[in-house]
Amino acid sequence: MTERNIEKLISEHQILVFIKGEKRQPVCGFSKQVINILNSFNVEYHTVNVLQDLEMRKRIKKYSDWPTIPQIYINGEFIGGVEILSNLYERCELGEILEKALNS
């Protein structure tokens, strides 16, 4: 997995989440929390299971300069991890971000 592969994935999906596990079965609590938040908006999003590719897991952390998984990208922009997504959700800002992204 190269940086170019990561950029391609990010550019191909309006909402992209790097998680541990699968969308239907996340294997860590933080990944599950992100999935639950996004599912509450009933939007389409793509996930990448970093446990299937340990090189991807290392490279995405370096690419984003963010030490943890999950990592959320919306319209090519790195949003952050579970803490930031949760804060945006609690402040009722995430819905606006998603709506703007999906309508662009």
Nearest to 14 by CA among 72, 66, 68, 56: 72
Beta-bridge partners for 41: none
Is 28 annotated as belonging to a binding site?
A: yes
Q: Where are the beta strands (DSSP E) in the chain?
A: 15-19, 21-22, 25-26, 46-49, 71-74, 77-80
Query: Can you say which residues are annotated as belonging to the binding site for [2Fe-2S] cluster?
Result: 28
Binding site residues, as ranges? 28
